[in-house]
Amino acid sequence: MRLKLTLEYDGTGFRGWAAQPGLRTVESVVRDVLDSVFPRWSGLAVAGRTDTGVHALANVASLDADGGPRLERIAEALNAALPADVAVNVAEE
């Protein structure tokens, strides 16, 4: 299933969106949580990358996922595993 995730985050504790070795980034946090919620997923893409310290209210990411929770429970499942400074506002097909 192709998923659209609408994310919000407080960028204060992040070194931007893009994964960077040894640094806390939004992408690396999201990838870790996707690994814990979905047995198989691929193709994480984001509408706009942010720089260090930049916040987002409605950044959109997409991915393909197999297994895991029902569509109506995906945002709740991801939010239960995400840190307090990142949230999935909406998950839709």
For 6, residues 6+ apart whose C-beta sits below 8 A from its C-beta are: 58, 59, 60, 88, 89, 90, 91
Rounded Cα distance between 71 and 8, Å, is 19
Q: Which of 32, 51, 64, 66 is catalytic?
A: 51
Note if 64 is an active site residue.
no
In the beta sheet, which residues pair with residue 92?
Answer: 4
Active site residues: 51
